[in-house]
Amino acid sequence: MNQQIIGKTHSSTVAAIEFRGVAKQFAAKGRSAQVQAVVDVNFSVALGEVVSIIGPSGCGKSTLLNMGAGLAASTEGQVWVQGEAVRGPNPHVAFMLQKDLLMPWRNVQHNIELGLELRGMAATERATIAQRLITQCRLNGFAKHYPHQLSGGMRQRAALARTLAVDPLVLLMDEPFSALDAQTKMILQQDLARTVLAEGKTVLFITHDLVEAVALSDRILVMSERPGTIVQEIRVDIPGRGDPMQRRKHPGVGAYVGQLMDLLKLDAHTEVH
Ligand SMILES: Nc1ncnc2c1ncn2[C@@H]1O[C@H](COP(=O)(O)OP(=O)(O)O)[C@@H](O)[C@H]1O
Ligand SMILES: [Mg+2]
């Protein structure tokens, strides 16, 4: 499927996803004034690249992803996916959130198959894809379990499997692991990184966890306070992007984290007022 998209644009140099001059203003509603969430956002993510966005709370990170997923329209500029303007939800982009949004009345397999079912795929074909992802996301033995019977980490793995089932070109992930405990989070990062590398997926990932950003990403984009814009781009020059467990142990991680802390001006928040 991805091959077709690449073929259509006649170039593999077209970015998987690109934000060009993007701004978003929320209209005034009732007593609340209008909000300029993001301004002049320009960046692109190449095919197969993993890029993280970090920035202060409320700076417009989720707003950016919503526009990328076609769930919200920009007020200026345009988001492009493989050279095509995003005008609404589209099958090339999948979204994964902190809350897993699994359907409680569907078991793991049927949750994974949901998007395929909506596309009218035959049951046997769906089951084959679900089984492959159940293995890949290490959910063997849990296909018939319901979400309430799973741990938080397993639910997020099921959500990841469901996201991957529809074979999207770009995965947009909004703090997908932030509700998990530290160790479960590391395991999920490992699952994600391996899968993304194996399948050549493009990922745009939002996190508050600076080490997570360093462990997972090819590049990190740092946003300013609202109205949010990209103020810095950092290329992570540590080997082993498919193996964040190892990457975390690399002595270079601390320097990146320090640089990110400085850019986020975290020290300023510890001053006595
Ligand atoms: N639907 C909306 N209507 C009005 N304001 C919104 C809406 N969504 C987000 N905002 C505002 O836009 C700003 C950015 O929000 P958001 O993108 O959620 O930030 P982040 O994800 O970086 O924490 C915030 O000030 C938020 O209150
Ligand atoms: Mg957010």
Predicted confidence (pLDDT) per residue in 103-125, tens digit = 999 999 999 999 999 999 999 99
Residue 135 resides in a domain: yes
**Cβ–Cβ under 8 Å, residues 22 and 76:** yes
Atom number of ligand 1 nearest to Cα 57: 23
Whole-number Å distance, alpha carbon 37 to ligand 1 midpoint, is 6
Distance CA 19, CA 266 (A): 27
Give Cβ neighbours of residue 78 (< 8 Å, ≥ 6 apart).
20, 21, 22, 85, 86
Provide the β-strand partners of residue 76.
23
**Two tokens at 44?**
């692109």
**Residue 144 domain-assigned?**
yes
Residue 110 included in any domain:
yes
- Verify whether ligand 1 is closer than 6 Å to residue 59 (CB atom): yes
Evaluate if residue 46 carries a pLDDT over 70. Answer: yes
DSSP E strand boundaries for 33-109: 35-45, 50-54, 76-81, 84-85, 93-97
Which DSSP category does 186 fall into? H
pLDDT at 254 over 60: yes
Which tens digit of pLDDT belongs to each residue from 197-225?
988 999 999 999 999 999 999 999 999 99
Per-residue model confidence (pLDDT) at position 12: 55
Answer whether the bond into residue 176 is a cis peptide, omega within 30°. Answer: no
Pick the residue whose CA is nearest to atom 4 on ligand 1. Answer: 26
d(CA 30, ligand 1 centre) in Å: 16
CA distance 47 to 203: 9
Asked, for residue 108, whether it belongs to a domain, the answer is: yes
Which residue's C-alpha comes closest to atom 17 of ligand 1? 60
Report residue 29 as tokens: 């509603």
What one-character DSSP code corresponds to residue 32? B
24, 54, 57, 63: residue to mutate for ligand 1 pocket, most atoms within 8 A of CB: 63
121, part of any domain: yes
For ligand 1, whether the C-beta of 226 sits within 6 Å is yes
Which domain, by its residues, includes 117? Answer: 104-167
Specify the pTM.
Answer: 0.91
- Residue 163 included in any domain: yes
Ligand 1 centroid from CA 157, angstroms? 27
pLDDT reading at 272 higher than 90: no
Q: How many domains does the chain have?
A: 1
Residue 32 CA: nearest ligand 1 atom is 4
Cβ of 58 less than 6 Å from ligand 1: yes
Residues 6 or more apart whose CB falls under 8 angstroms from that of 161 comprise 108, 112, 130, 133, 134, 136, 137, 139
Cα–ligand 1 centroid distance for 210 (angstroms): 21
Nearest CA owner, ligand 1 atom 2: 26
Contact 219, 49 (CB under 8 A): yes
Could you tell me which of 93, 94, 91, 83 has the C-alpha nearest to residue 6? 83
As a whole-number percent, the residues of the chain with pLDDT over 70 amount to 94
Residue 2 included in any domain: no
Structural domain contains residue 200: no
DSSP strands (E only) in 115-273? 170-174, 202-206, 219-223, 230-235
Please tell me if the CB atom of residue 195 comes closer than 6 angstroms to any atom of ligand 1.
no
